[in-house]
């Protein structure tokens, strides 16, 4: 933020490492860093008196995560954030893209779990030799891309088949979600 020098986003006057509480009159806000679930530095903001939770850009009520697994820098933290959020006692959450309920978070968690399972299935079942048989064997980038595309296609097909008409965004970003998940499962 300091480098951007954006006057519409002033630098914070208070910082914290993991958790802090802010008292505003008779109201209390609990801030907790849940890890790099969306972007480094995003926090959960909980208003216990009203059972409201804010998790900016994390969830989209009635929809799938945004492009490339909500642009998370760390897919395992993103997946873990669903359980972190569901541990809060809330009736409503504010996502930055709408207001939802615990049921919305649970449904999206099921979607993410299903596509993670489908990515694991693709890694186990897509044969590198078969996926790259028509590629120039001297072009390792093209061979790698063909292999990842084949795994991504298997994951996306299985995921879309299970979730079509259940959440907005299914079939729109599924391939990007699958590719990011496959890379994460292989590297993280």
Q: How many CB atoms lie within 10 A of CB 102?
A: 17
Residue 30: pLDDT band (50, 70, 90) is very high
Average pLDDT (94-123) is: 93
Structure tokens at 155: 């994951």
What confidence score (pLDDT) does residue 1 get? Answer: 61
What confidence score (pLDDT) does residue 23 get? Answer: 94
Residues 51-85 pLDDT 10s: 999 987 778 888 898 888 778 888 898 899 899 99
Average pLDDT (160-176) is: 92
| C-alpha distances in Å from residue 47, one per residue of 31, 36, 90 | 9, 21, 9
At residue 69, what are phi and psi to the nearest 5 degrees?
A: 55, 50
User: Does residue 144 register a pLDDT over 80?
Assistant: yes
99 vs 51: CA distance, rounded Å: 13
User: Does residue 40 register a pLDDT over 80?
Assistant: no
């Amino acid at each position: 933020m300091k480098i951007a020098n954006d006057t519409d986003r002033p630098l914070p006057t208070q910082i914290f490492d993991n958790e802090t509480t802010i008292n505003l009159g008779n109201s209390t806000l609990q801030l907790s860093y849940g890890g790099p679930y969306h972007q480094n530095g995003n926090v959960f903001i909980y208003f216990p008196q009203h059972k409201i939770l804010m998790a900016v850009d994390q969830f989209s009520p009635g929809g799938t995560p945004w492009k490339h697994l909500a642009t998370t820098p760390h897919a395992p933290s993103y997946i873990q954030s669903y359980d972190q959020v569901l541990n809060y006692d809330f009736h409503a959450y504010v996502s930055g893209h709408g207001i939802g309920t615990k049921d919305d978070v649970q449904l999206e968690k099921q979607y993410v779990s299903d596509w993670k399972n489908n990515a694991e299935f693709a890694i186990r079942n897509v044969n590198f030799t078969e996926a790259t048989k028509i590629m120039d064997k001297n072009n390792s980038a093209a061979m790698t891309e063909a292999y990842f595309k084949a795994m991504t296609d298997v994951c996306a097909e299985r995921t879309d088949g299970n979730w079509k008409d259940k959440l907005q965004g299914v079939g729109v970003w599924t391939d990007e979600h699958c590719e990011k998940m496959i890379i994460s499962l292989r590297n993280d």
